Amino acid sequence: MVPNLVAREPRTKSPRRRWVGAALGLGVAVIIGVTAYDGYRAAVATADLEARASALSDAVEARDEGSLLEAVEGLQESAQQFDAAVHGPHWWVAARVPWLGDQVVPLQRASQAVRAIADDAAVPLVDAGGLALLESPAVVNGRVDPDALEPYRDVLAAAAAVLDEQATVLAATELDSTLARVRLPFERLSGEVSEVASLVDAAHATAEVLPAVLGGEGPRQYVVMIQNNAEPRTSGGIPGAVMGLTVDDGRFSVGEYVAAASMADTSQDVAALTEDERRIFSARMARFPQDVNFTPDFSRAAQLMAAFWKRETGVQPDGVVSVDPVALEYMLAGMTPFSIGDIQMSSETVARVMLSEVYWQYPTNEGSDAFFAMAGRALFDTLMSGETAVIDGAARAVGEQRLLVWSAHEDEQDILRGLPLAASWRDEPDALGVFINDGSGSKIGYYLRNDVSVSELVCGDGELSGQDVTIRLSHTYDGDVTELPKYVSGAGEYVPEGDMQVNVLVYPPTGLVLASAQEDDAMASLNSESHDGRLVLSTTVTLSPGESVVLSYGLTATTADLRRGDVVVTPGAHADTPTVRRGVSQGRC
């Protein structure tokens, strides 16, 4: 049967429906127009807000109380004005309009974050004590008060929670379709908030662990490993000497001093190694204390050193502290010079003496070990005198990964983890690691120059699509190799006399893989391994005096939503080395 089709007139909208549709359309247009105008002003205000946050961060870093008060007041005022400017009925609607919401939501989140930070973190911190809350306690009459930060513990905890929450909110804000005039100041603001959050987190962690760590709840036994950067290891240098340290109610006393080599035992491991550790770093990690930091995982190196110490002395340490001569030089700024034998030490020469001159003056192991034992005690006494720049020097050393701490107490280590002094960078999937292990078996590493450049390939939304990593290694010794002390030249035992063998380890951020690798102008020879789930690329180069080599790595993303992270490198034998340069270029989007 064929259906009976009846022609119908086209349906037309009633006048009322047409007017309603037109009114809604006009309303949306007006909202878009008004919000666009307000949005332009708000984008300009975002830059002001970012500048205020930057001033706050600068004041904290400079330890400038006057600037801090001014920055907090300015931040409050700007936050209130900005908050008022990005809220209202038309903003509420605009936040739900496609594309327009991509501009509005970041502005509103920035407003809410900064108001919360100003009112619930910055102001309470200033009212409670200002910069005193963020300072490490000073050495007074040879003692560090374990309870120095106790009055501030609660306010630091509250401020840290606010800052961490808002830093997370800002970092999680979607910016794919956000215009540059909004996105760029927003990203800078997010970075400033993260920096201040890190500073307050560190102060909060210090307040939490200080009483127990400083022996306020009973005596503590620590091991101090002094890293010698003249023979590089991933975290700085070979732990050539180890020292016991007792802390009781904030008072420190030096105990037994042991040359690391005397604790070695080639017949048995001091502790079980993982399959990855044994394959990548060899059994030497568990047989030679000098090699515990073949791994860039400092907590693991510290555990092994604690095991060596217990086997040697019978004492189970409460933690391990690692420091290098450059860090000591920072912390001893202003010290009164003194002499040990024919060698004079001052705050300008500590690193040079301990990493180079001692081997010229005392060319045998016995002579240099005896010097280090005397120098270690003398320098420690000077540190505890309270007359040097211990706090500022320690802060600089921590920033350069030259002063590291591990606690054998799990609850304390959980608090320390994530702070720079814990060197737990492998817990950060977006971090890039560039590390060096010496293969020369000598102290020729004093003449190593290491420069790292990282070009981060970033898409318009801030997503990381790759990294170009360049490592330049130079052997800077320019004298006669035959004049070098055998302890420095290596005497040809592993490599030709005076040559330098360097094992380079590169840990790309999780989600990046190797696309290309070159050694100078040729293809590089690399080994690719997995270290506890992290990709590690290793290569070995040998340099004669005066030679240089450039290693270039092209890394590309295999997953989405990757962000720029930290760049962590092996500290060198000289202040502010290696140099690390970072740049941003257009990504492969």
Predicted pLDDT at 179: 83
Domain spans, the chain: 17-207, 220-399, 428-586
Give the Cα separation of 343 and 325 in Å (integer): 16
Collect the ranges in the chain with pLDDT lower than 50.
1-35, 37
φ, ψ for residue 586 (rounded to 5)? -65, 130
Report CA-CA distances (Å) from 70 to 54, 112, 191, 407. 12, 21, 21, 38
Predicted pLDDT at 492: 93
Predicted pLDDT at 157: 95
Nearest one of 362, 363, 360, 325 to 345, comparing CA atoms: 325
Predicted pLDDT at 17: 43
Give the CA angle between residues 536, 171, 427 to the nearest 5°. Answer: 30
Predicted pLDDT at 39: 52
Spatial contact of 200 and 134, defined as CB atoms under 8 Å apart: yes
Instruction: Write down the CATH superfamily of domain 428-586.
Output: Mu homology domain, subdomain B (2.60.40.1170)
DSSP 336: P
Predicted pLDDT at 40: 55
Predicted pLDDT at 10: 45
Quick one: tokens of 24?
A: 């809604």
- The SS3 call for residue 392 is helix
Predicted pLDDT at 18: 44
Predicted pLDDT at 175: 85
Give the Cα separation of 226 and 243 in Å (integer): 8
The tens digit of pLDDT for each residue in 151-174 reads 999 999 999 999 999 999 998 898
Any idea which residue has 């904290």 for tokens?
60
Predicted pLDDT at 43: 57
Predicted pLDDT at 21: 39
Give the Cα separation of 106 and 199 in Å (integer): 24
Give the CA angle between residues 416, 258, 333 to the nearest 5°. Answer: 60
The tens digit of pLDDT for each residue in 359-405 reads 999 988 888 888 988 888 899 889 988 889 998 899 899 999 999 99
Predicted pLDDT at 45: 61
Predicted pLDDT at 520: 97
| Residue 273, CA atoms < 13 Å, CB-side half-sphere | 23
